[in-house]
Amino acid sequence: MTDVPSPSGPTTGAVDVAPGLQRWRSHPVLLNVLVAAALFGSAILVWVVPRSIIAFMAFQASLLVIYLLPLDVRTKLAWAAVALGVLMPMLGTHNGYYMEVAIQVGIFVALALGLNIVVGLAGLLDLGYVAFYAVGAYLWAIFGSPQAAKFLPIEGVFPLPAPWFFAFLILGLAVGAITGILLGLPVLRLRGDYLAIVTLGFGEVVRVLANNLDKPWNITNGPKGITPISRPPLFFEPALSALGIDAPPSVLYPLLFYFMVLGIAAVVIVINRRLEGSHVGRAWEAIREDEVAAQAMGVPLVRMKLLAFAIGASFAGVMGVIFSAKQLFISPESFTFLESIGVLAMVILGGMGSIPGAIIGASAVTILNLQVLKGLSLWLNELRNSGLTVLGYNLADLPSQFEPAKYERMIFGMILILMMIYRPAGIFPARRRKLETYHRGEEPAA
């Protein structure tokens, strides 16, 4: 009955991530110096050569170093705060593309964590996850742009004023959750593989609807998509001016989105951790392990599955609202089956049911897509334009249709196949909690 492979990690606590590094635990000063060197060294490198992808990847790698070294949790969080709260915004302002990468990573981390609840914890393979993201995105796109006026007979209200954006974050959460429940109600009794296909069908239905609901009423504006979508207000601008900092909106908007995504991703991580370490998370894992036994132990199957669907979908709904505001333009093209599989590949690469896995998987795949493949494409283009001849082959003859940046499918496909065959529990498999990490309340009097 078990539908998804289960994490098989040894029973280790939260701190000791990389067992091989454990013997350095007794040298905290050395470790901290190492972290500082990696972090600031790579940050300076990025600052000096802002166009070097390798420099930025070194910076990203230093974040991984913080996670892997055997430091205590508070120190790690402090370093992460320095890196993500101070260094990253500086580097991102220096080179706007890196800010874009960081925002995208944040969005996908939240999506991967949402899908991780559904697939990783509850063991329900959802192949239409991007539909919930689309629902959130269209929600704000329609009302945060003149689009709503095209089918609602109200004059002069749309687009809603920018501050409404924040209300729509909550609304996106709610609508995502409701959509999750509406989809879940009829399908959650299905067997695992049928559920997967039905969710795929649902995802496609949402996309086709978005593509065609420009008539009889123009709700989604069809394949042309919706634009311009309002951005949230730069509410902190007056405060910055008072401090004597005058930055143009082109700098402030990315910062706003960056911190918003960072904040929401952090909240999502905390919620994930708390759910995982509660009766809810245990019930989900029990369902994944053995539905029949879980139900026989008093776990209400349908309710718990619906809860997983709703929570996963609500994260996607919120992120959709942010995505549409950030992009200013959305169309059905952004919400294809490929996107759903992309998020699935992130979860599977990191390790189903593993929170660090989902975070690292999402970062790795996004960076691979946005930096490595794009970088290769740019490099190939340069080669083409260089007019060089290598071994009698004129590089200008490289086929123009060959662009590594467009080969996401191959990357996702290889991740899925190779992980299933060689490492189904992922690169950072979920680890079991030890008893000492549980709240045991006040000990009973002896």
Partner 1 sequence: MDWELLLAIFPQVVMDGLVLGFMYALIALGYTMVYGVLELINFAHSEIFMVGGFVGVEILLTMQATGWLDTFNPFVILIFIILMGMAVSGVLAVVVERVAYRPLRGAPRLIPLISAIGVSFFLQDLVRLGESLWRNAFYLTYPSFAAFNTRIEIAETIDFSVKSVIVVVASLAMLFALQFLVTRTKLGKAIRAVAEDQPTASLMGVNVNRIISLTFLIGGAMGGAAGVLFGVQYNTINPFTGFIPGIKAFTAAVLGGIGNIPGAMVGGLVLGLLEAFAASYLSLLTGGAFGAEYKDIFAFSILIVILIFRPRGLLGEVVRERT
Partner 2 sequence: MTLLEARGVVKRFGGLTAVNGVDFSLDEGRIASVIGPNGAGKTTLFNTFTGIYAPDAGDVRVGGRSIVGLTPDRITTLGVARTFQNIRLFKNMTVVENVLVGMHARVALRLWDVVGHTPAFRREEGRSVRQALDLIGLVGLSGKEDALARNLPYGDQRRLEIARALAVGPKLLLLDEPTAGMTQGEARELMAFLRRLISEFGLTILLIEHNMRVVMEISDRVTVLDHGEKIAEGPPAQVQRDARVIEAYLGRGRAGAAAP
Give the separation between CA 99 and CA 370, rounded to whole angstroms: 12
Give yes or no for residue 421 binding partner 1 (CB under 8 A). Answer: yes
Q: Please tell me what DSSP assigns to residue 392.
A: T
Give yes or no for residue 433 binding partner 2 (CB under 8 A). Answer: yes
Q: Please tell me what DSSP assigns to residue 393.
A: E
Which residue lies nearer to partner 1 by CB, 387 or 399? 399
Which one of the spans 33-41, 201-209, 270-278, 357-365 is the region binding partner 1 (CB under 8 A)? 201-209
Which one of the spans 5-13, 50-58, 190-198, 375-383 is the region binding partner 2 (CB under 8 A)? 5-13
Q: Residue 156 CB, nearest distance to partner 2 (Å)?
A: 39
Give yes or no for residue 8 binding partner 2 (CB under 8 A). Answer: yes
Give the separation between CA 421 and CA 348, rounded to whole angstroms: 12
Taking a C-beta distance cutoff of 8 angstroms, is the pair 137, 324 a contact? yes
Give yes or no for residue 423 binding partner 2 (CB under 8 A). Answer: no
- Binding to partner 2 in span 242-281, by CB under 8 A: 271, 274-275, 278-280
Q: Residue 289 CB, nearest distance to partner 2 (Å)?
A: 4
Q: Residue 416 CB, nearest distance to partner 1 (Å)?
A: 3
Biggest CA pair distance of the chain: 86
* Cβ partners under 8 Å of residue 89, min gap 6: 99, 255, 258, 259
Give yes or no for residue 205 binding partner 1 (CB under 8 A). Answer: yes
CB under 5 to 8 A by kind: which of partner 1, partner 2, none does 286 bind?
partner 2
Taking a C-beta distance cutoff of 8 angstroms, is the pair 210, 334 a contact? no
Taking a C-beta distance cutoff of 8 angstroms, is the pair 373, 408 a contact? yes
* Cβ partners under 8 Å of residue 166, min gap 6: 232
Among 208, 245, 247, 302, binds partner 1 (CB under 8 A): 208
Give yes or no for residue 341 binding partner 1 (CB under 8 A). Answer: yes
Which residue lies nearer to partner 1 by CB, 201 or 263? 201
Give yes or no for residue 202 binding partner 1 (CB under 8 A). Answer: yes
Which residue lies nearer to partner 1 by CB, 66 or 127? 127
Among 37, 64, 185, 297, binds partner 2 (CB under 8 A): 297
* Cβ partners under 8 Å of residue 223, min gap 6: 211, 331, 332, 333
Give the separation between CA 314 and CA 177, rounded to whole angstroms: 5
- Binding to partner 1 in span 247-266, by CB under 8 A: none
Task: 193-201: list long-range contacts, CB under 8 Å, 24+ apart.
Answer: 193/125, 195/124, 195/125, 195/126, 196/125, 196/126, 196/127, 197/127, 199/125, 199/126, 199/127, 199/128, 199/129, 200/127, 200/128, 200/337, 200/340, 201/128
Q: Which two tokens stand for residue 107?
A: 């969005």
- What are the φ and ψ backbone dihedral angles of 390, each rounded to 5 degrees? -115, 125
Q: What is the Cα gyration radius of the chain?
A: 23
Q: Which two tokens stand for residue 270?
A: 């905390």
Which residue lies nearer to partner 1 by CB, 4 or 365? 4
Give yes or no for residue 432 binding partner 2 (CB under 8 A). Answer: yes
CB under 5 to 8 A by kind: which of partner 1, partner 2, none does 28 bind?
none
Give yes or no for residue 294 binding partner 2 (CB under 8 A). Answer: yes
Which residue lies nearer to partner 2 by CB, 384 or 432? 432
Give yes or no for residue 3 binding partner 2 (CB under 8 A). Answer: no
Which residue lies nearer to partner 2 by CB, 17 or 307? 307
Among 245, 400, 434, 437, binds partner 1 (CB under 8 A): 400
Between 173 and 192, how does the x/- string for binding to partner 1 read (CB under 8 A)? -------------xx-xxxx
- What are the φ and ψ backbone dihedral angles of 226, each rounded to 5 degrees? -115, 135
Q: Residue 212 CB, nearest distance to partner 1 (Å)?
A: 5
Give the separation between CA 266 and CA 106, rounded to whole angstroms: 9
Q: Residue 394 CB, nearest distance to partner 2 (Å)?
A: 57
Taking a C-beta distance cutoff of 8 angstroms, is the pair 340, 86 a contact? no
Binding site for partner 1 (CB under 8 A): 1-5, 123, 125, 127, 186-187, 189-194, 196-198, 200-202, 204-205, 208-209, 211-212, 215-216, 337-338, 341, 344, 348, 399-402, 406-410, 412-418, 420-421, 424
Binding site for partner 2 (CB under 8 A): 2, 6-8, 11, 271, 274-275, 278-280, 282-283, 285-286, 289-290, 292-301, 307, 432-435, 438-442, 444
